[in-house]
């Protein structure tokens, strides 16, 4: 699922986990395991299928997701040792994806790392950003023709949040 936002100097495409991939992850995740299902009693789990936070009492699933592997399969890249699999929360059931969002500002509660990858899937570098500057820094990074894709990651646990591409 993609949403597009106009940030200077270019147009960014923010990508949540695709609905078809989300459905597959609810069967077997990218580590070959079944999802860990639960109810988010207090709310707030960051849902990578729609780039929102779970509401209190909402059913969620914790799955292993390999974002660079998914991107590489789509683009023909070969990330080699940069391919990694990590935990993400998704809805435990159907999700329509992001609705009417551009950059998912309310989704990010704290500092994030923007990790840049080249067309082969190799890490080029990263930037530590505050929520209010993340979109502009993402646009600056993607203005570099060597950067093919960005991953937004949480600082605390290093978890994948979402992908960003040129529009």
Q: What is the pLDDT of residues 87-111, one digit of tens each?
A: 999 999 999 898 755 789 788 888 9
Model confidence at 6, pLDDT cuts 50, 70, 90, reads very low
Apex 51 CA angle, 60 and 141, nearest 5: 140
CA atoms within 13 A on the CB side of 14: 29
Domain extent listing, the chain: 2-166
Is beta strand 149-154 parallel, antiparallel or unpaired with respect to 160-166?
A: antiparallel
Answer whether residue 2 shows pLDDT above 70.
Answer: no
Q: To the nearest whole number, what is the mean pLDDT of the chain?
A: 91
Report the pLDDT averaged over residues 134-152: 96
**Residue 139: exposed, middle, or buried by beta-carbon count in 10 A (0-12, 13-18, 19+)?**
buried
What whole-number distance in Å separates Cα of residue 150 and Cα of residue 134? 11
Model confidence at 4, pLDDT cuts 50, 70, 90, reads very low
């Amino acid at each position: 699922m993609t949403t597009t936002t106009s940030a200077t100097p270019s147009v960014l495409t923010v990508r949540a986990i695709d609905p078809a991939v989300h459905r597959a992850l609810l069967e077997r995740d990218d580590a070959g395991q079944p999802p860990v299902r639960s109810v988010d009693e207090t709310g707030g789990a960051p849902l990578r299928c729609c780039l929102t936070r779970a509401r209190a009492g909402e059913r969620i699933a914790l799955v292993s997701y390999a974002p660079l592997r998914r991107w590489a399969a789509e683009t023909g890249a070969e990330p080699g040792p940069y391919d990694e699999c990590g935990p993400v929360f998704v809805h435990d059931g159907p999700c329509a994806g992001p609705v009417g969002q551009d950059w998912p500002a309310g989704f990010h509660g704290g500092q994030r790392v923007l990790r840049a990858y080249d067309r082969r899937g190799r890490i080029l570098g990263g930037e530590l950003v505050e929520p209010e500057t993340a979109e502009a820094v993402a646009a600056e990074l993607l203005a570099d023709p060597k950067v093919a894709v960005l991953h937004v990651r949480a600082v605390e646990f290093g978890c994948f949040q979402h992908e960003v591409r040129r529009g």
